[in-house]
Structure 1
Amino acid sequence: MTSSTKNQAERTVLVGVPASPGFAMGKAFPIINREVSVVEETLPESRIAAEEQLFLKAVNKTVAEINKIKEISESRTGLRDSLIFATHLMILQDPGLVNGILDKIRKDHKNARWAVHVVLGSYIDKFEKIDSPAMRDKAADLRDLYNRLLGAMDDSGPVLEDVATDDGVVLVAHEFLPSFLMTIKPGQVSALAMDTGGRTSHVAILARSLQVPVVSGLRNVAALIKPEDTIIVDGSGGMVIVNPNEDDIRRFHERQEVYERQRRELFTMRRLEPMTRDGKYITLHANIELPTEAEKVMDFGATGIGLYRSEFLFFRKDAPSEQEQCEAYKQILETVAPCPVTIRTLDAGGDKLVPGITSANEANPFMGWRSIRVCLDREEIFCEQLRALLMANMRGNLRILLPMISGLSELRRAKMLINRCREELESRGHKVAAVKVGVMIEVPAAVMLVDKLAKEADFFSIGTNDLIQFTLAVDRTNELITDMFQPHHPAVLSMIYQTVMAAHRQGIPVAVCGEMGSDPFSVLLLVGLGVDELSMTPWSVMATKKIIRSMNFEDVRETALTVLTMDDAESVNAYLKAKYAQTIKDLGISSLLGDDGEKQN
């Protein structure tokens, strides 16, 4: 939502989406899109070959540019965020897209620039008409490629103006494209303000990794801002103040000082135990995407890795070999040994397209051929990964996690393949350490069978993102039903509680590795429901530890049992807010997590 208020001639307050936390103030630098002029030409036969070559050379040049940007992203923000650009490469090299453009040149005798404009433009139009943030992100990816291809064909380079290099610059635009953001040098800008996007957009994800404050969804900020306007960006509360007055500037400095102090204070949590005031220990682990991230996990106070998403090894042109996988897994396992490491087996499909394995043509990919279904259908790929995992487990601290399990037959077949791979390795003379095998509880069917699954699994890990989505039949990327994606819906909480109770009856632990594990109110609720372990981004570990050390287990358990009797999410949220909002505010962590909630007029 966007609103504006003018208390004096030039002061304007805009409220949008808090996309990346933090506070910044500086001079505005509007990013203006150059006009892209594309003229339709009908070509004689003699020019067709030359236009084909012009297009193909532009593709090769753009691929090289994106690969360079992808390398920059990997070094600055990590492998997970660089996958945005891996997706760009997959789109650009898609045979349907490339052949469609070539056909427009060859069969219709159109010039290459017009062919790109028509074919890629039709893709963009299609995604923009779908009322879903995820589809609009896809349209932004395609616009990024569109601009680069046209620029490569006339050597005009990127279609955005060069960015000023002054310290403290606040970039303002209708839309930022991910590749543009990665070309900005560290320290070159202090914040971003944009008309489009949300907290889950690609730009927001990258900005949080780069620790650049962002407010998105402002709708008309690009039209309002003039060069050299002074701007305050509150990325924690989702607010932009244009030409602030003295009171605004004073409050900005106060809040910025508080924010930085709270960041520093969090680091005092690193060596403290995640134990409630009445002695209940809650295991805190970290989620990682890149093997080298394992070195940082302990620095943030985690005591192990609760989720390593192994599919990120596969986001490359050629699948990693068994030996390459083994080395990657070994690096993680040995870095944090003797602490446990949970490695999820290949979770391909859905929004994670793996070259040579998954398809982009499924009508409903999130409920299609993905995760354990892919692995069990492609045993050669699955067994190669299992052998690599077992060989890497030299220190005996590996836990294998199976995603998207919906029934006993899948679990039993996966365990059978693990045993087969163990026997195969032992027959070759390898010594194979014991390994625990866990099940991700993220499908309602798994909850219905949780008592039976608990008898055959060594641990559970609840993937709350998918569990909420599947339980409530709500696409969390669709803004038309965003309000219906409720982590505290009674059905979701009941499923979590059922899972915990069934696991504890069999003496196995339960972890939560979804986004609920780093939300303050959800942490209090999950601990009360009996969850044994929380896994989250490394940075969130310290804030979560601070929450745990502030609570009494018996108090949050009583709260959780009370909440389980409630009829709707609104009642649950109101009850939690009334009971714990002041406590969370006193802990001083809200602004660090990007939900400050304080709006100024």
Structure 2
Amino acid sequence: MLNTLRTIVQEVSAASDLRAALQIIVQRVRDAMKTDVCSVYLFDQEQSEYTLSATEGLNPSAVGVVKMAQSAGLVGQVGLREEPINLEDAAAHPKFLYIKATGEERYHSFLGVPIIHHRQILGVMVVQQKKRRRFDEPEEAFLVTMSAQLAGVIAHAEATGSLLVTPNSPRKTARFQGTAGASGVAIGEAVVAAPPADLGAVPDRQHDDLDAELALLDRALEAVREEMKATAAKLSELLPVEEQALFDVYLSMLDDNALGLEIRNQIRTGSWAPGALRYVIDEHVRNFEKMEDAYLRERAADVKDLGRRVLSYLQKEDKNSITYPDNTVLVSEELTPAMLADVPHEQLSGLVSVQGSGNSHAAILARALGIPTVMGAVDLPFLKLSGNQLIVDGNLGLVYSTPSTELLEHYQVVVEEEQEFTEGLEAISGLPCLTPDNYRIPLWVNTGLMTDTVRSLDRGAEGVGLYRTEVPFLLRERFPSELEQEKIYRHQLEAFAPRPVTMRTLDIGGDKSLSYFPIKEDNPFLGWRGIRVTLDHPEIFLVQVRAMLKASVGLDNLRIMLPMITSVFEVEEAMHLIHRAHTEVLSEGLPVVMPPVGVMVEVPAAVYQVRELAKQVDFLSIGSNDLTQYLLAVDRNNPRVANLYNSFHPAVLQAVQKIIDDTHKEGKTVSICGELAGDPAAAILLMAMGVDMLSMSATNLLKVKWTLRRITMEKAKDILAEVLTMDNAQVIRSSLELALCSEGLGKVLGIKSRRFSQ
């Protein structure tokens, strides 16, 4: 059964559309189980009914015609119970429903299993047999496994708009949950970006010019042939004759009568050259991998290698021919800054990445540019989305594919209102953040790129609460030198002077890795990251601190902040190195003032040592993203548990209040620089808690300022007192939204978007 399952999965993966995939499944499952009938009934959520969508054994003319209500018959019972039903005599069951059109009166044995994806019932798979018998456990397990495979196929079909039970069926909207990367809403056309020479990431796309695609393929094949010949000649004196023969095999595989011909034929069906190449290579790889002979199985690697070589040449020529629509939504398995750079900024509406997190460099850049972004949309069938209309809800981390007219109209209103509201905020950029009852709270920004800096100053930022020094490290293929770092930091300090700039020391590890300094761990968020790395490598830490100090000469607006602190000992060790770096810079004759030093409170251990830590440093800053993650034991980059990650959780709010209170007892200031600070609703609570300053992305600064300028400190404290009595994060969020709406502040929260999605 295992080999059969593997074979079926491979065939289904290669199917051209859902209809073909369903037919493959019903045929192969019926044969594998040696039964008389296999059928698939798909469930329509809007109509609350099942439709016979594929069958092998029942009347084929019933496909697309036979429909049943949600609770009707045995199929309906399988769906309602969300578990298999296995019967020896189906007709004897009280819920049995006889439908003449299917011709199923001859079959007695019945086994039905639900097809479920993300807790939603998508359909039911059924096998039947004339002979009266109960299907055994291995058979039931096999069918359950097949239904799980089919669930993903159906979900993908929904996303691409190909889930059409009948040719006239309306397209369905598919919704995918990711994590918010950059706030805002975008509506546009999907353009799928593939990384260089990655066959698995080549999207499906139709060509416009057959002759041009064939010519492109010919040039790529010829380039690879020449490359092979050159390599063979170069190694001719180093390799034995039998090894040299491998190059001849490669050349013959590229021949016009071999792979070359198959790729051309696939192009003639309408596919663009890279997609045709991927299809043919995948077919050959599957065939080789099914072979019993170990030597022949290994040839799959040779075919893959050839495919990558040809693809690299196709991509070189194709890169210059890509046209981007005016409302491009760039989609990729893993977005990179280079991909963003390829799209003209004025044509880039939104971004979607299957992998990555809100802390990915692409997400940081997106926030700096103000482009609505969703990261970590792991179930998105990105290869099949080219040309599809998408809605990107960066506020909630949602992506909608093939949206309905109603959904489009709703989000179009959201986009227009958001744009109108944002433009109106420019008027308050030069005003202080002062509540109606004259409570003043400074608003700072989180930066990492110079684009952040320009936007921050335009919006009236009063300082930098978090400068991510890892960004220059991520942009290079080696550690930047002390002089390079000094120039980068000087530019940042000068831009904001005399405003303070808080530079966090190198914070790598977790989901931020350097290609030239890889950290491979089973659990990176509980591993070697932040201050742990730099204390283990004082040579990196000292170079960075010296660069910061030198950059601050004559400006004196530098503040240094230490990440991932879990103990007083770490602070003492870091302070020793900072003072040493300060002494070294002074010895060079530079008049450097010792800057204020602070620590980030982002792990539970630090929460309970705030007073001890505050005695060691000048200020504290709360990193709400990691603090939430560690308090709730939820990976904040994992969309599968996104519903559990919530900074409004009572434990998080109580921890933040404790940090603020304990810091003030030691006479020190405390800021918050996580995403919580940039949420206008959360900002009200944080202000009421007594935080000394809020630091956020420049994109959110004016929204927060607009909100706080319209609510009194007295009212904020009333709201805080009320939510601190609540024990549910969702209730807290809803209560906050209700309170803001009653104050006339609802439009800053994107309430319309939120409520429609729920």
Q: Are 1:438 and 2:598 an aligned pair?
A: yes
Change (3 A) 1:275 1:379: same
Question: Which amino acid letter does the alignment assign opposite residue 486 of structure 2?
Answer: C
Is 1:278 the counterpart of 2:476? The answer is no
Match of 1:114 among 289, 298, 301: 301
Change (3 A) 1:150 1:347: farther
Corresponding residue of 1:269: 428
Matching residue of 1:410 = 570
d(CA) in 2 for partners of 1:279 and 1:288?
A: 28
What's the counterpart of residue 473 of structure 2? 314
Q: Give the drift of 1:553.
A: 1.1
Q: State the shift of 1:109 in Å.
A: 11
Distance 1:541 1:51, change over 3 A: farther
Cα 1:550–1:164, aligned 2, differ >3 Å: closer, same or farther? same
Distance 1:33 1:113, change over 3 A: farther
Contact 1:148–1:157, Cα closer than 8 Å, also in 2? no
The verdict on how the C-alpha distance between 1:420 and 1:567 changes in structure 2, with shifts beyond 3 A counting, is same
The whole-number CA distance in structure 2 between the counterparts of 1:337 and 1:350 is 32
* Deviations 1:245-278, CA, capped at 9 Å, x for gaps: 6x87776664443222112012112011111121
Q: Quote the Cα distance in structure 1 between the aligned partners of 2:359 and 2:590.
A: 46
Structure 2 vs 1, CA of residues 369 and 166 (structure 1 numbering), >3 Å: closer, same or farther? closer
Map 1:355-370 → 2, pairs under 5 A: 355-356=515-516, 358-370=517-529
Would you say 1:497 and 2:695 are equivalent positions? no
Alignment pair present for 1:599 and 2:756: yes
Verify the 8 A CA contact 2:367 2:699 in the aligned structure 1. Answer: no
Check the 8 A contact 1:168/1:188 in 2, yes or no: yes
Task: State the structure with more CA Rg.
Answer: 2
1:46 is aligned to 2:244: yes
State the alpha-carbon separation in 1 of the partners of residues 655 and 472 from structure 2. Answer: 32
**Number of aligned residue pairs:** 507
Task: Name the stretch that deviates more: 536-545 or 564-573.
Answer: 564-573
The more displaced of 433-442 and 388-397 is: 388-397
Deviates more, 1:16-25 or 1:362-371: 16-25
Counterpart in 1 of 2:551? Answer: 392
Q: Which residue of structure 1 lines up, in the alignment, with residue 688 of structure 2?
A: 528
Distance 1:218 1:466, change over 3 A: closer
Cα distance in 2 for residues equivalent to 1:180 and 1:26:
17
Cα separation, 1, equivalents of 2:386 and 2:452: 41
CA distance in 1 between counterparts of 2:329 and 2:690 reads: 45
C-alpha distance in 2 between matches for 1:346 and 1:384: 11
Equivalent position amino acid for 2:698 in 1: P
> Take 2:378 and 2:540, find their aligned partners in 1: how far apart are those partners?
46
Distance of aligned partners of 1:255 and 1:155 in 2 relative to their CA distance in 1, 3 Å threshold: closer
Identity of counterpart residues, as a percentage? 34
1:217-228 matches, within 5 Å, as none
- 2:617 aligns to what? 457
Match of 1:345 in 2: 505
Give how far 1:559 is off: 2.9
Distance 2:329 2:562 in 1: 44
Q: 1:212 to 1:422 in 2, by over 3 A?
A: closer
Structure 2 counterpart of 1:56 = none
- SS for the counterpart of 1:484 is coil
Whether 1:478 aligns to 2:635 is: no
C-alpha RMSD over aligned residues: 4.5
**Relative to structure 2, which stretch is displaced further, 272-281 or 25-34?**
25-34
Indicate yes or no: 2:183 matched with 1:183: no
Q: Is the 8 A contact 2:498 2:555 kept in 1?
A: yes
| TM-score in terms of structure 1 length | 0.71
Aligned to 1:63: none
Say if 1:292 and 1:332, in contact at 8 Å, map to a contact too.
no
Structure 1 segment 513-552 matched on structure 2, within 5 A: 513-552=673-712
Q: Is the 8 A contact 2:324 2:343 kept in 1?
A: no
Distance 2:695 2:568 in 1: 25
Asked if the contact 1:305–1:340 (Cα under 8 Å) also holds between the matched residues in 2, the reply is yes
User: Could you report, residue by residue, the CA deviation over 1:440-473 in whole angstroms, capped at 9, with x for unpaired residues?
Assistant: 1112111111111112211000011111111222
SS at match of 1:596: helix
Q: Distance in 2 between matches of 1:249 and 1:373?
A: 48
The structural deviation recorded for 1:365 is: 1.7
**1:220-253: CA deviations, max 9, x gaps?**
89899897x88777766757585866x8777666
Using the TM superposition, name which of 23-32 and 279-288 deviates more. Answer: 23-32
Given that 2:599 and 2:619 are in contact with CA atoms closer than 8 Å, whether structure 1 keeps it comes out as: yes
Cα distance change, pair 497–29 in 1 and its aligned pair in 2 (3 A): closer
For residue 164 of structure 1, report the CA deviation from its aligned partner: 4.6
**Secondary structure of 1:440's match?**
strand
Change (3 A) 1:401 1:595: farther
Ranges in structure 2 where 5+ consecutive residues have no aligned partner: 1-117, 119-154, 194-202, 207-216, 222-240, 251-293
CA drift of 1:517 comes to 0.7
Tell me if structure 1 keeps the 8 A contact 2:444–2:696. Answer: yes
Q: In the alignment, what sits opposite 2:449?
A: 290
Task: Report the residue type matching 1:387 in the other structure.
Answer: R
Q: Is the 8 A contact 1:10 1:242 kept in 2?
A: no
- 1:33 matched to 2:204? The reply is yes
Paired residue for 1:427?
587
Question: Whole-Å Cα distance in 1 between the matches of residues 204 and 524 of structure 2?
Answer: 34
Taking structure 1 as reference, are residues 253 and 563 closer, same or farther at Cα in structure 2, changes over 3 Å only?
A: closer
Query: Which residue identity lines up with residue 498 of structure 1 in the other structure?
Result: K
In structure 1, the gaps of 5 or more residues are 53-106, 119-145
Q: Deviations over 1:296-347 (max 9, x none)?
A: 3221111111111112222222212222222222221122111111001111
Q: Is the 8 A contact 2:614 2:668 kept in 1?
A: yes
Matches within 5 A, 1:71-110: none
Q: CA, structure 1 residues 590+149, in 2 after alignment: closer, same or farther (shift >3 Å)? A: farther
Structure with the bigger RCO (C-alpha within 8 Å, sep 6+) is 1
Q: Kindly state the Cα deviation for residue 430 of structure 1 after the two structures are TM-superposed.
A: 2.0
1:232/1:244 contact within 8 Å kept: no
What is the CA-CA distance between 1:432 and the residue it aligns to? 1.6
The one-letter code of the counterpart of 1:114 is: A
Quick one: distance in 1 between partners of 2:356 and 2:374? 8
Matched AA of 2:602? E
Q: Is the 8 A contact 1:513 1:535 kept in 2?
A: yes
**Does the 8 Å contact 2:444/2:464 carry over to 1?**
yes
Higher mean alpha-carbon deviation, 551-560 vs 235-244, is at 235-244
Deviates more, 1:293-302 or 1:566-575: 566-575
Q: Which amino acid aligns with 1:46?
A: Q
Is the aligned partner of 1:467 residue 2:654?
no
The corresponding residue for 1:139 is none
The residue identity in structure 1 corresponding to 2:702 is M
Distance 2:724 2:514 in 1: 40
Q: 1:148 to 1:403 in 2, by over 3 A?
A: farther
Aligned partners of 1:29 and 1:169 also within 8 Å = yes
